Amino acid sequence: MQDRERTLTLIDTQSGGDVSRIVLDGVGPLPGATVLEKARYLQHEGDGLRRLLLSEPYGDPAMSVDLIVEPSHPEAQAGYIIMEAMGYPLYSGSNTICTATALLQSGTIPMQDGRQEIVLESPAGLARITAENSGGRVRSITTRGEPAYVADEGLSVEVPHYGTVRFDLVWSGAYYAVIDATEHGFHLTSEEQIALTAFGDAFVRAARPGLKEEHPELGAVGPLPFAHFRGPVTAIGDGRYESPSATYVHPGVLCRSPTGTGTSARLALMAQRGEIREGEALETISPRGNRFLGKVLGRARVGEYAALHSTITGSAKMIAHSQLTVDLDDPLVDASDLEHVLSPPVSV
């Protein structure tokens, strides 16, 4: 009888409280000349992997998954495909922080003590990363992904039970609807997490029709996946600011961290409005008190849009290094679009 069990090698990590599962082994080579093409193949032909690792009993929708793949760019040491409850974001700050940490601390990329520069290839392009290492551990990660830009300003939608919601649409690895939390009575505290999730769910369902689903260089990117709630900005020093923030991921997830791409979206919007300048920084604070630091680098262009380069700094911690057994005959496993992407069992 054919062996119906498969094994995945995982490293679970967390950054700002958001858990990322790094898949190091157990998935066969994917078709595609680039990481973007591999991600789109997985999305359309192998989505069973995402559903397996983000669904009970094998996972949880609040987690993320990062599959390590071969890079196509000569500068990159590894590629990674990001999977979340909403689908396949093309870039993510917290996932990049977690992936870089896992690759370095596992020895997949040899770690050097002190400051170390590495390059990873996401579906959106290259992530240029600076790791600060000491004592065999990664102490912090600073990542620079593709530039963010404001796609549309001053939008509004009628949301059932909530009324008119005004927002701005910003691209930062995916489209974000950026909402002023104070307009809706939110202070972005831990006690508001359930209410923020309910608001985010109703908002995204109402706002999706008619919004952009195309990126000028990356093509189709799907319907709106994120709502980012921005709180008041406070100056805390020369060229440094902080602000409470919360990111909702559709469907039904409120991030534990303030999110890297959410922070980059905030920076792009602030820069466009003249509220922050090159070299200045914004520290975002999630409802659980976790923080990321975003820094403005300089201007760029994405198609017709004025865009902004920025970096995000945070840290990740290792939670577990494990092997997951997948029984393809388990009635809770949909093997129809999963089995063909998993590595075959090893003959003994």
Residue 239: which domain range? 148-314
Residue 128 domain-assigned? yes
The active-site residue, picked from 15, 20, 92, 122, is 92
Q: pLDDT at position 347, please? A: 61
**Residue 158 and residue 275 in one domain:** yes
Residue 205: both structure tokens together: 């369902």
**Residue 172 and residue 82 in one domain:** no
**Residue 95 and residue 188 in one domain:** no
336 is catalytic: no
Q: pLDDT at position 2, please? A: 61
Q: pLDDT at position 3, please? A: 86
**Residue 112 and residue 223 in one domain:** no
Question: Is the separation of the CB atoms in 271 and 281 below 8 Å?
Answer: no
**Residue 32 and residue 123 in one domain:** yes
Measured at the CA of 32, the angle between CA 170 and CA 175, to 5 degrees, comes to 10
Three-state secondary structure along the chain? Answer: CCCCEEEEEEEEEEECCEEEEEEEECECCCCCCCHHHHHHHHHHHCCHHHHHHCCCCCCCCCCEEEEEECCCCCCCCEEEEEEECCECCCCCHHHHHHHHHHHHHCCCCCCCCEEEEEEEEECCEEEEEEEEEECCEEEEEEEECCCEEEEEEEEEEEECCCEEEEEEEEECCCEEEEEEHHHHCCCCCHHHHHHHHHHHHHHHHHHCCCCCCEECCCEECCCCCEEEEECCCEEEECCEEEEEEEEEECCCEECCCCCHHHHHHHHHHHHHCCCCCCCCEEEEECCCCCEEEEEEEEEEEECCEEEEEEEEEECCEEEEEEEEEEECCCCCCCCCCCHHHECCCCCC
pLDDT per residue over 110-150, tens digit each? 999 999 999 999 999 999 999 999 999 999 999 998 899 99
**Residue 93 and residue 208 in one domain:** no
**Residue 305 and residue 184 in one domain:** yes
Q: What is the CATH number of the domain that holds 41?
A: 3.10.310.10
Q: pLDDT at position 33, please? A: 97
Task: Work out how many domains the chain is built from and give that number.
Answer: 2
**Residue 59 and residue 82 in one domain:** yes
**Residue 106 and residue 191 in one domain:** no
Q: pLDDT at position 1, please? A: 42
pLDDT per residue over 226-269, tens digit each? 999 999 999 998 899 999 999 999 999 999 999 999 999 999 99
pTM of the model: 0.95
**Residue 65 and residue 202 in one domain:** no
**Residue 198 and residue 280 in one domain:** yes
Average pLDDT per block of 10 residues along the chain, 348 residues long: 86 97 97 97 98 94 96 98 95 97 97 97 96 97 95 98 98 96 98 98 97 94 96 95 97 96 97 96 97 96 96 97 95 95 81
> Is the peptide bond between 57 and the residue preceding it cis, with omega within 30 degrees of 0?
yes
**Residue 235 and residue 307 in one domain:** yes
Question: Is the separation of the CB atoms in 178 and 258 below 8 Å?
Answer: no
